[in-house]
Every structure is written in structure tokens, then in C-alpha cells.
Amino acid sequence: MANDRMNNEEEPEIIYIPDEEGNEEEFEVIMKFEVDGSDAKYMMVVPLDSEEEDEDSEEVYAFRYEEDGEDLKLFTIESDEEWEIVEETFNTLLDELGGEEEHD
């Protein structure tokens, strides 16, 4: 079987999230992680149909999620305390990834 992936790059994971009007919007999952000392799982996503071409201004959304077989349940992060933990973990992981890319 031929491998469709070039240069060992994985296909992006795409999810669909309904907006307030029930229209499904496409998002690319850029990172999934768990917070130390917690069973909670989080994902960071970016909109695929973003009008913005400038990656520095790309909006990133964070959700807590649970997997139930094939189903994915997303939960908004409502408390400031939880948001700070997620933001700190995300930034730490980004720093670690940035350091790895410099050494490649």
C-alpha cells in the first residue's frame, strides 16, 4: 500500500463545531494535551475558513473534551482558574516544540 503522507507529516485532524445559528464550522486541531494532576483533556483548534492570512493573528480556541467511542464532546472553559492552567500548559508545550524545531 502506498503511503499518502509526504515527509512523515500527519494529515491535519479536522473537527466541525456548530455556531450559535447551528451552522457547522471547520476547525483544525493543532494540539491535544492533558494537564498534570487532572484527568481533563484539552484541545486547541483554529478555524479553517479564516479570512486572515497572517498566521500571527490567527485565533486559537481551547476546549475541554471527552471521547465517547467515535463521539467527541466539547466543553467550553468557563473558570478563570481553569483557563490560566490551560494557557500556561499550552504556552509551555509551544516553547518545547519551538526548541525542538531549532535543533532539527
Q: What's the mean pLDDT in 46-74?
A: 80
Q: How many CA atoms lie within 13 A of 98 on its CB side?
A: 6
**At CA 57, angle to CA 54 and CA 58, rounded to 5?**
85
| pLDDT at residue 102 greater than cutoff 60 | no
To which H or E segment does residue 48 belong? none
To which H or E segment does residue 83 belong? helix 80-103
pLDDT digits (tens, 9 = 90+) for 76-95: 999 999 999 999 999 998 88
Cell of 23: 451552522
Q: What's the mean pLDDT in 60-66?
A: 94
pLDDT of residue 64: 95
**Model pTM?**
0.73
In angstroms, rounded to a whole number, what is the distance separating the alpha carbons of residues 65 and 67? Answer: 7
pLDDT of residue 83: 93
Question: What integer best gives the mean pLDDT of the chain?
Answer: 82
